[in-house]
């Protein structure tokens, strides 16, 4: 990734730069566009962005006016849904609205135009809404195009410009007019082999960005948030010139940003008032003799009695009293309630701004508030720190929520107004499986397994069992190990924060018989049934999140008069840095085979440029685990 940081102050009038004149007119298409059947640089794409262009300017009231136009070619049937358009806006207090929407679909027989009566606005939450419409007569081969104006109350709403999406883009360009006396910082994030045009025009107070022929960004196993890898330019208002001609900074450091949030009436300011009607919590807390006990009691009460409405958020726009009384709210609001209650009972607690891995990572060099998606709780009790999110219903106190592992967070506290990194140093994804199985003379393996899941394994598996036991069994067992079928499944300790989740299951696996010989696959319940890393190249980092500790202890009884013709040697496989380790130990005792498999991985984050080594090692591990024991069946 290449990152560029520039700071500029511009004081001039609006004027478009010459690059804009080369753009095609709305609704006018070339023969190349109309005849296009596939994307030359991304041949599997179902659609391609032919043009995505915008110009941000200001009016007499210094409102931010952004004119945007998007042109897309539909390449096949899978791309038809691209005609359903959603434009997200920040609608709270009328901050942003959309106007002058136009759209059309062009086919061989001409253009079909958007019926403006079909445009509607859908509320998402208290802050955001979506403007939605469907373009008419979209089919394979269509060109769709639409344009609109976004009007924001001020330049504080200046958004990122993203050059890349989940379909390829031929041309993406953005022209920004800076408001007088304003200062913005910007960061360009891009892959080094993708060229970018950056043209500052100080004489007219503008800056122009353009990228061309950008492939789509597709899902990859264990990837971070896709937007971390999108080619983009990000802006943040960082200062202005006051009436005396002096420069006034705005949140140039994390400490300054934290201070602003600590005094914000919708974040730190919400904690200044005590919550009413907390007698039930007082009773629970009175039974505890340590601050840790009090913290656990309060956290458990909040996560079990307040309901998350599905929205995230940093702020509590209407305060936290209404959230407490209604027992429902966004993630940020619920966690601010949690922090307030912790403080009420004398526990050191502060808001913690987090950016979950699925939302996007924080760059410690740039104090951008919109990099965060949620407020969590940071607390200290009896010398131990706790990171808590009361919307994570299956995360026990003391276990850092897995969505924030390998991320940065901002502590909004007078003592610790700075950025911090979150890692899992002690807890891991930990499982232990004990397998008892019998191989019959027809090559059928029938057995039972007792599996214990700890820490992150327990949290994740509990959540998925709660969502759908059927899907859990299919994902973790039947789809993960070729030929395996689950006959029965049960579990215990699903509601316990202290005991491991235990799973009992019975299973069968039919082995193929070749002239009285069978290949016994003993790879059961390791989590390594299939190699997730198959692509030759990788665009994104590999983020496992947590360490792994997996052990499987198996005993497989053979049919009478059977003979082991060949078995794999006992073996240990490890990386040069010893951060991934796999061992296999196989022994025969009488008519039974005993197998012990141990997998330990302390490596949690792998840069994309180290992917080839990781892929190679994982292939060795999977191959090792799938080396069969060759058995001559007795008659």
pLDDT of residue 331: 94
| Contact between 336 and 270 (Cβ < 8 Å) | yes
CA–CA dist 190, 228 (Å, integer): 10
pLDDT of residue 252: 64
Closest CA to 37 of 26, 51, 48, 23: 48
pTM tops 0.85? no
Query: Confidence band (pLDDT; 50, 70, 90) for 205?
Result: confident
Tell me: pLDDT of 376 over 90: yes
Tell me: pLDDT of 251 over 60: no
Closest CA to 544 of 530, 532, 529: 532
| Contact between 426 and 405 (Cβ < 8 Å) | no
| Contact between 153 and 92 (Cβ < 8 Å) | no
Residue of 270 and 283 predicted with greater confidence? 283
In terms of Cβ atoms closer than 10 Å to its own Cβ (0-12, 13-18, 19+), residue 282 is exposed
Each domain of the chain, given as residue ranges in start order, spans 2-246, 254-422, 429-632
| Contact between 259 and 418 (Cβ < 8 Å) | no
CB-hemisphere CA count at 13 Å for 189? 18
| Contact between 552 and 526 (Cβ < 8 Å) | yes
Tell me: pLDDT of 1 over 50: no
Three-class secondary structure of residue 568 per DSSP? coil
Average pLDDT of the chain, as a whole number = 89
pLDDT of residue 13: 30
CA–CA dist 596, 585 (Å, integer): 5
pLDDT of residue 256: 81
CA–CA dist 429, 458 (Å, integer): 8
Tens-digit pLDDT profile for residues 127-178: 789 999 999 999 999 999 999 999 999 887 888 899 999 999 999 999 999 8
pLDDT of residue 244: 44
Tell me: pLDDT of 348 over 70: yes
Tell me: pLDDT of 18 over 60: no
Contacts of 471 (CB under 8 A, 6+ apart): 464
The DSSP code for 342 is: H
pLDDT of residue 261: 87
Radius of gyration of the chain (CA): 29
The DSSP code for 194 is: S
Q: Which of 2-6, 163-167, 255-259, 311-315 has the lowest mean pLDDT?
A: 2-6
Q: 2-246 has which fold?
A: Immunoglobulin-like (2.60.40)
- Average pLDDT estimate for 434-442: 94
- Average pLDDT estimate for 606-631: 94
Q: 429-632 has which fold?
A: Jelly Rolls (2.60.120)
Q: What is the 3-state secondary structure (H, E, C) of 536-563?
A: CCCCCCEECCCCEEEEEEEEEECCCCCE
Kindly state the percentage of the chain with pLDDT values over 90: 67
What value, to the nearest 5°, has the Cα angle with vertex 625 and ends 624 and 631? 100
- Average pLDDT estimate for 505-530: 89
Tell me: pLDDT of 480 over 80: yes
Pair type for strands 247-249 and 197-201: unpaired
| Contact between 398 and 386 (Cβ < 8 Å) | yes
| Contact between 223 and 541 (Cβ < 8 Å) | yes
| Contact between 418 and 258 (Cβ < 8 Å) | yes
CA–CA dist 630, 520 (Å, integer): 6
- Average pLDDT estimate for 375-379: 95
Tell me: pLDDT of 10 over 50: no
Handedness of CA 465, 467, 469, 471 (dihedral sign): negative
- Average pLDDT estimate for 352-359: 90
Helix (H), strand (E) at residue 600: strand 592-601
Tell me: pLDDT of 17 over 80: no
> b/e per residue, 169-178, with b = 16+ CB within 10 A?
bbbbbbbbbb
Q: Which of 19-28, 139-148, 243-252, 313-322 has the lowest mean pLDDT?
A: 243-252
Residue of 20 and 471 predicted with greater confidence? 471
pLDDT of residue 246: 53
**Rounded alpha-carbon distances, angstroms, from residue 577 to 69, 332, 531:** 50, 40, 21
Tens-digit pLDDT profile for residues 397-432: 999 999 999 999 999 987 777 788 998 778 999 999
pLDDT of residue 550: 97
End-to-end, the C-alpha distance of the chain in Å comes to 63
Query: Confidence band (pLDDT; 50, 70, 90) for 446?
Result: very high
CA–CA dist 201, 18 (Å, integer): 11
**Rounded alpha-carbon distances, angstroms, from residue 203 to 57, 193, 199, 235, 514:** 15, 31, 12, 21, 81
> Under CATH, which number does the domain 254-422 receive?
3.10.620.30
CA–CA dist 184, 380 (Å, integer): 37
Tell me: pLDDT of 64 over 80: yes
- Average pLDDT estimate for 193-197: 91
Residue of 482 and 183 predicted with greater confidence? 482
Tens-digit pLDDT profile for residues 31-59: 999 999 999 999 999 999 999 999 999 99
CA–CA dist 353, 373 (Å, integer): 8
Tens-digit pLDDT profile for residues 592-611: 999 999 999 999 999 988 99
Tell me: pLDDT of 584 over 50: yes
Tell me: pLDDT of 11 over 50: no
CA–CA dist 352, 562 (Å, integer): 62
E strand segments, 11-160:
47-58, 64-74, 84-90, 96-107, 110-113, 120-123, 128-134, 143-152
In DSSP terms, which residues pair with 431 in a beta bridge? 453, 550
CA–CA dist 194, 64 (Å, integer): 30
Tell me: pLDDT of 296 over 60: yes
Length of the chain, in residues: 635
- Number of other CB atoms surrounding residue 121 within 10 Å: 13
CA–CA dist 466, 454 (Å, integer): 17
Handedness of CA 224, 229, 232, 238 (dihedral sign): positive
């Amino acid at each position: 990734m290449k990152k560029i940081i520039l700071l500029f102050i511009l004081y001039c009038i609006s004027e478009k730069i010459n690059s804009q004149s080369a753009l095609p007119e709305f609704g006018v298409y070339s023969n190349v566009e109309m005849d296009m059947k596939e994307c030359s640089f991304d041949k599997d794409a179902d659609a391609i962005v032919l043009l995505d262009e915008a110009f941000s300017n200001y009016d007499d009231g210094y409102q931010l006016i952004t004119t945007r136009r998007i042109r897309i070619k539909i390449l096949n049937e899978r791309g038809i849904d691209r005609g359903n358009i959603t434009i997200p806006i920040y609608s709270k207090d009328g901050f942003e609205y959309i106007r002058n929407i136009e759209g059309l679909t062009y086919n061989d027989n001409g253009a079909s135009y958007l019926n403006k009566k079909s445009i509607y606005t859908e509320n998402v939450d208290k802050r955001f809404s979506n403007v939605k419409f469907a373009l008419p007569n979209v089919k394979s081969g269509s060109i769709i195009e639409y344009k609109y104006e976004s009007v924001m109350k001020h330049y504080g709403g200046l958004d990122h410009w993203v050059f890349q999406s989940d379909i390829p883009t031929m041309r993406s360009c953005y022209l920004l007019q800076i408001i007088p006396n304003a200062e913005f910082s910007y960061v360009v994030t891009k892959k080094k082999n993708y060229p970018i045009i950056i043209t500052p025009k100080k004489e007219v107070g503008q800056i122009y960005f353009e990228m061309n022929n950008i492939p789509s960004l597709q899902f990859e196993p264990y990837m971070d948030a896709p937007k971390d890898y999108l080619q983009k330019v990000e802006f943040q208002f960082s200062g202005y010139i006051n009436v005396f001609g002096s420069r006034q900074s705005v949140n140039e450091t994390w400490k300054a940003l934290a201070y602003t949030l600590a005094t914000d009436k919708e974040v730190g300011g919400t904690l200044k008032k005590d919550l009413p009607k907390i007698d039930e919590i007082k009773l629970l807390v009175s039974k505890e003799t340590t601050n840790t006990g009090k913290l656990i009691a309060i956290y458990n009460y909040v996560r079990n009695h307040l309901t998350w409405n599905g929205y995230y958020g940093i702020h509590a726009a209407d305060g936290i009293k209404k959230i407490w009384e209604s027992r429902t709210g966004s993630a940020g609001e619920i966690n601010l309630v949690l922090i307030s209650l912790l403080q009420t009972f004398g526990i050191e607690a502060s808001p913690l701004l987090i950016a979950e891995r699925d939302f996007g990572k924080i760059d410690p060099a740039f104090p951008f508030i919109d990099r965060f998606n949620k407020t969590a709780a940071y607390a200290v009790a009896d010398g131990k720190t706790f990171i808590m999110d009361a919307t994570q219903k299956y995360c026990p106190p003391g276990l850092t929520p897995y969505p924030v592992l390998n991320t940065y967070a901002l502590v909004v506290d007078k003592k610790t107004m700075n950025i911090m990194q979150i890692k899992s140093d002690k807890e891991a994804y930990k499982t232990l499986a004990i397998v008892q199985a019998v191989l019959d003379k027809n090559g059928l393996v029938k057995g039972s397994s007792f599996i214990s899941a700890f820490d992150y394994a327990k949290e994740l598996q509990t959540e998925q069992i709660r969502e759908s036991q059927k899907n859990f069994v299919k994902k973790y067992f039947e789809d993960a190990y070729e030929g395996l079928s689950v006959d029965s499944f049960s579990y215990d300790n699903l509601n316990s924060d202290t005991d491991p989740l235990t799973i009992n299951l019975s299973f069968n696996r039919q082995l193929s018989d070749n002239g009285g010989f069978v290949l016994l696959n003993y790879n059961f319940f390791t989590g390594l049934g299939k190699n997730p890393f198959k692509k030759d190249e990788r665009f994104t980092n590999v983020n496992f999140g947590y360490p792994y500790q997996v052990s499987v202890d198996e005993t497989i009884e053979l049919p009478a008069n059977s003979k082991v013709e060949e078995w794999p040697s006992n073996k240990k496989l490890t990386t040069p840095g010893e951060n991934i380790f796999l061992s296999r130990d196989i022994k025969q005792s009488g008519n039974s085979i005993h197998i012990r498999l141990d997998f330990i991985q302390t490596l949690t984050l792998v840069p994309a440029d180290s992917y080839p080594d990781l892929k190679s090692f994982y292939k060795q591990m999977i191959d090792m685990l799938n080396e069969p024991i060759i058995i001559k069946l007795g008659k």
